[in-house]
Structure 1
Amino acid sequence: MDDASQSASQAARATLAHFADEASRFDDPLPTQSIHFAVPPMRTLTWRVNAPATLRIHAAHVWVTRACSPYDHWLQPGETLRLERGERIWLSTEAAVPARVSVTSAWRPPYAGVRRGIERMGAWLALLTLRRASQT
């Protein structure tokens, strides 16, 4: 291998290491955000989940129906249910008092997905450069 291809290979490895370091910062646990609301007695609310979340019941029994599931869930106070991104749920209660519910998900900084996509593309380009350098 000549000096030019060795330096290209070293540069590509350094770029890959940089992107690996940058990507690892997304592995740290992020703060969470919670939305608290009440389900009125004898009413049904619907919710579309925008990010993976946890549904927690705080007061009164709640009936949860998931759009893509043949099963319904009766949750008691203190119980949780894991929800996936894009899922639609319906919540209702037969109690005489409103049921208190919270939906908690990880907080993501604005444009985190775009930033991560750009970093992945950069890592892919660095890998492509490394492969081409090793072929010559």
Structure 2
Amino acid sequence: MDSAFPPAFQSDPQAAAQPVADAIDFFDDPLPAQSIHFAVPPQLTLTWRVTASATLRIHVAPVWVTRARSPYDYWLKPGETLRLERGERIWLSTEAALPARVTLTSAWRPPFAGVRRGTERLAAWLALLTLRRPRKA
């Protein structure tokens, strides 16, 4: 008996497993997201302070990653990722003959979101001060 679906839509567990795994990894970060792409030159060490929790993804060549306050170093191969926390400092280098490409992806925050949040906190604090002040009769 023939299937009602064309061959492209028939389920094959072996063929379907890989795209689903890739889709899960791809959508692991919250959306919208912002990505910074840069190259790590050979025989040079770059340093980076992470301003927001992010995912580091390696392309083209292996990268050696050192984290501040961590006893471990990481050798990441192309396609591998590493989660980084806000405020963390990392050092990146490669021993390959060609530059390693790196992508740092984090959740997108609107411009001046920190200033807006700080202003709202200040306004709430001032409102509490005015409510707590005893009124003179």
TM-score range, shorter chain: 0.5 to 0.7
Deviates more, 1:108-117 or 1:35-44: 108-117
1:114 offset after TM fit, Å?
A: 3.8
1:118 offset after TM fit, Å?
A: 5.2
| Structure 2 CA distance for aligned equivalents of residues 30 and 109 of structure 1 | 12
Answering whether residue 101 of structure 2 is matched by residue 100 of structure 1, we say yes
| Structure 2 CA distance for aligned equivalents of residues 85 and 113 of structure 1 | 14
| Structure 1 CA distance for aligned equivalents of residues 40 and 78 of structure 2 | 13
| Structure 1 CA distance for aligned equivalents of residues 67 and 83 of structure 2 | 11
Cα deviation 1:35-94 (Å, max 9, x = unaligned): 111111111111111111111001111000001101000000011111111111000011
Partner amino acid for 1:61?
Answer: P
Q: Give the structure with the larger helix fraction.
A: 1
Q: Matched residue pairs, number?
A: 104
| Structure 1 CA distance for aligned equivalents of residues 112 and 100 of structure 2 | 34
| Structure 2 CA distance for aligned equivalents of residues 78 and 120 of structure 1 | 41
Partner amino acid for 2:94?
Answer: T
SS of match in other structure, 2:69: coil
Cα deviation 1:2-36 (Å, max 9, x = unaligned): xxxxxxxxxxxxxxxxxxxxxxxxxxx54211111
Answering whether residue 49 of structure 2 is matched by residue 44 of structure 1, we say no
- Contiguous gaps of at least 5 residues in structure 2: 1-29, 129-137
Give the TM-score normalised by structure 2.
Answer: 0.63
CA contact (8 A) 1:30 1:108 kept: no
Partner amino acid for 1:109?
Answer: P
Q: Match of 1:77?
A: 78
SS of match in other structure, 1:34: strand
SS of match in other structure, 2:114: helix
Partner amino acid for 1:72?
Answer: D
Q: Match of 1:18?
A: none
Paired residues for 1:1-20 under 5 Å: none
Q: Match of 1:12?
A: none
Residue identity over aligned pairs, in percent, reads 83
| Structure 2 CA distance for aligned equivalents of residues 75 and 30 of structure 1 | 25
Higher relative contact order, chain-length normalized (CA < 8 Å, sep 6+) = 1
- Contiguous gaps of at least 5 residues in structure 1: 1-28, 128-136
| Structure 2 CA distance for aligned equivalents of residues 63 and 43 of structure 1 | 11
